[in-house]
């Protein structure tokens, strides 16, 4: 059976797997032997280096800053096996949805290295997620395991998120606030009002309000490291 959403080919950079998880979680942190947290950050940096041309290409095609897309990648890649969600969690949630009579739960399954929800991925390619059947969900999730496809769809989604809060924005050239909101929306969705995120940005350090934008702020905080890895300063 063919795939309705993509042509599945070489998956590229190795996906985070159970062995990676053990090296990250079970071994003590050691910079020399690259274990523990050192391994996770080495994996993230390796992903950016391997995929920087794809990140640059899809950022340009979707008219968004490379920093934003690369920042989401740094936040999402690694930490847990990518395939577990597609070949375990998705099917479990599909079983629950059978009894519920909809696909709402399975559609919030995050898939791929950049962990985009099936619902958001479907919307990014112009499909009503409520109309996805179980076979289509599985096909889409398989596509999202391909890093190029995953990066491309995340770039489309980020463009939509920028316009959600800033409909007149020059989406290619964003200020720090706009990057923080787009990143935070990627992590938390569109349920909260824009002002909630603005209040979070301006909240004093230590305030519980800060948690709503910590994902987006981490992109700004890692700007120099991301730019160095991506050669964005050249």
User: Quick check: is 10 in a domain?
Assistant: no
Q: Identify the residue whose tokens are 């990066």.
A: 151
Distance CA 201, CA 177 (A): 8
**pLDDT value of position 1:** 42
User: Quick check: is 209 in a domain?
Assistant: yes
User: Quick check: is 131 in a domain?
Assistant: yes
List the CATH number of the domain containing 180.
Answer: 1.10.530
Q: Is the pLDDT confidence value at 103 over 90?
A: yes
Distance CA 187, CA 175 (A): 19
Distance CA 174, CA 152 (A): 19
User: Quick check: is 116 in a domain?
Assistant: yes
User: Quick check: is 107 in a domain?
Assistant: yes
Confidence of residue 34 (pLDDT cuts 50, 70, 90): confident
How many domains is the chain built from? 1
Q: Phi first, then psi: what are they for 3, rounded to 5°?
A: -105, 130
Domain residues for the domain of 217 are: 18-229
**Quick one: tokens of 162?**
């920028």
Helices (H), the chain: 18-25, 37-61, 66-76, 82-84, 90-100, 104-107, 118-124, 134-144, 147-165, 176-188, 194-202, 214-221, 223-230
Q: Is the pLDDT confidence value at 93 over 50?
A: yes
**pLDDT value of position 87:** 74
User: Quick check: is 7 in a domain?
Assistant: no
Compute the average pLDDT of residues 197-220.
Answer: 95
User: Quick check: is 225 in a domain?
Assistant: yes
User: Quick check: is 5 in a domain?
Assistant: no
Q: Is the pLDDT confidence value at 232 over 70?
A: no
Distance CA 12, CA 71 (A): 20
189-204 pLDDT per residue, tens: 999 999 999 999 999 9
**pLDDT value of position 8:** 58
**Quick one: tokens of 26?**
């079970």
């Amino acid at each position: 059976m063919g795939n309705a959403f993509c042509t599945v080919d070489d998956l590229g950079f190795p996906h985070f797997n159970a062995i990676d998880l053990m090296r990250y979680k079970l071994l003590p942190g050691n910079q020399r032997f690259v274990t523990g947290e050192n391994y996770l950050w080495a994996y993230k940096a390796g992903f950016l280096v391997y995929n920087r041309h794809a990140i640059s290409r899809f950022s340009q095609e979707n008219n968004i800053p490379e920093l934003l897309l690369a920042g989401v990648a740094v936040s999402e890649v690694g930490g847990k096996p990518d395939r577990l969600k597609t070949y375990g969690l998705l099917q479990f949630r599909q079983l629950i949805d059978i009894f519920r009579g909809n696909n709402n739960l399975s559609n919030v399954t995050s898939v791929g290295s950049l962990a985009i929800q099936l619902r958001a991925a479907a919307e990014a390619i112009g499909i009503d997620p409520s109309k996805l059947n179980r076979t289509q969900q599985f096909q889409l999730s398989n596509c999202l395991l391909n890093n190029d496809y995953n990066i491309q769809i995340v770039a489309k989604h980020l463009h939509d998120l920028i316009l959600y809060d800033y409909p007149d924005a020059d989406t290619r050239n964003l200020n720090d606030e706009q990057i923080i909101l787009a990143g935070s929306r990627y992590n938390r969705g569109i349920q909260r009002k824009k002002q909630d995120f603005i209040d979070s940005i301006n909240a004093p350090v230590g305030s519980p309000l800060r948690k709503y934008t910590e994902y987006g702020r981490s992109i700004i905080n890692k700007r120099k490291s991301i730019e160095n890895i991506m050669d964005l300063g050249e």
